[in-house]
Structure 1
Amino acid sequence: MLIHHFGSRDGLLTAVVRAVEDRQRALLADRDDDGSPADAAAAFWRHLRSPELAPQERLFFEVYGQTLQGRKWAEPMLEGVVSDWLGPLTGLLAAGGIDNPGPHARLALAVTRGLLLDLLATGETAEVDAAMELFARLLLGPVENGGSAPTST
């Protein structure tokens, strides 16, 4: 059944990564618009860097690396790996009053992925959270609702 549906074990891994990415984008797109975009970004970061998601994040980077090495089985992951995120991120940034949010969305995606990779490599949660907080403040301003930008939970 595995070969019938996914072609191989590796095809299954690619499908899993794409499904996780789909869920993450849906979560970002379905944010509660009662808070500010900075609040939404902080909540999304806290979700992404939760220890429960670490195995999925490691799998994402493993398969992503395989695509960059030209592994044919991983090529389906490249479809939309950046472009599918730009819509939800652009919407969040536009809601935050960012003019021309497209380049900001690409930057936010790159910074988020880089900090997730940093977190997985070092386990330095407080330091990585501080870097994300700085980035969020530079991009969106301070978090409202009486809190700070992303911090450890």
Structure 2
Amino acid sequence: MIETSPRDRLLAAAIDHIAHHRGTEKSLRALAADLGTSHRMLIYHFGSKEGLLTAVAREVEARQRAALTGLDPAEFWRRLTDDDLRANERLFFQLYGQALGGTPGTTGLLDGVIDDWLGPIEALLAEHGVPEADRAAHARLGLAVARGLLLDLVTTGDREAVDAAMAHFLARYRQLA
């Protein structure tokens, strides 16, 4: 049995809570109460409400990168656009904007926000026959398209349109292989 730290347990609870209750608008004290802890414990482990939310976004991103391995791109897209991830995706984009603006507690989100994805995407592209010389550019393009369509989805809710756009994009990659 793997032992988890108190921080890891709080982070897991926060991820679940935000996914199901959109608690990002709440104060740190209210979030702490919802998580069954004190605001002091959240400050101890995460530094601030923004630090907690940034840790949530980074962990959700890490889980999605891990899920990329072994999935067909269309399957991965279906996973990313699952309704259960919508609150976390909305949080990601909110924090991304705050981090770009230098909001304290959020700037850590920028560490690896692009680079951490490029390796796994390049590996997927290799599996699909994209030449090595082209993989870095295609990985960056694929990440940009996926993030842009996810932003479209959280903004408009138009699942049919973003799915159609992604299907069109993926069809072009099937032509390359």
**Range into which the TM-score falls when normalised by the shorter chain:** 0.7 to 0.9
Who is 1:146 aligned against? none
Which fold has the larger relative contact order, with Cα–Cα distance below 8 Å and residues 6 or more apart in sequence?
1
Who is 1:140 aligned against? 174
Q: 1:1-153 alignment to 2 at 5 Å?
A: 1-29=41-69, 31=70, 40-99=72-131, 100-141=134-175
Cα distance, 1:124 vs. partner?
1.1
What is the CA–CA distance in structure 1 between the aligned matches of 2:144 and 2:174, rounded to whole Å? Answer: 16
Cα distance, 1:94 vs. partner?
1.1
SS at match of 2:106: helix
Counting aligned pairs with the same residue, the percent is 53
Cα distance, 1:13 vs. partner?
0.3
SS at match of 1:72: coil
Who is 2:10 aligned against? none
CA RMSD of aligned residues (A): 1.3
Cα distance, 1:139 vs. partner?
2.0
Cα distance, 1:74 vs. partner?
0.7
Q: How many residues align?
A: 134
SS at match of 1:81: coil
CA radius of gyration, larger in:
2
User: What is the one-letter code of the residue matched to 2:96?
Assistant: Y
What is the CA–CA distance in structure 2 between the aligned matches of 1:50 and 1:139, rounded to whole Å? Answer: 23
Which structure has the highest helix share of the two?
Answer: 2
Unaligned runs of 5+ in 2: 1-40
What is the CA–CA distance in structure 1 between the aligned matches of 2:174 and 2:74, rounded to whole Å? Answer: 10
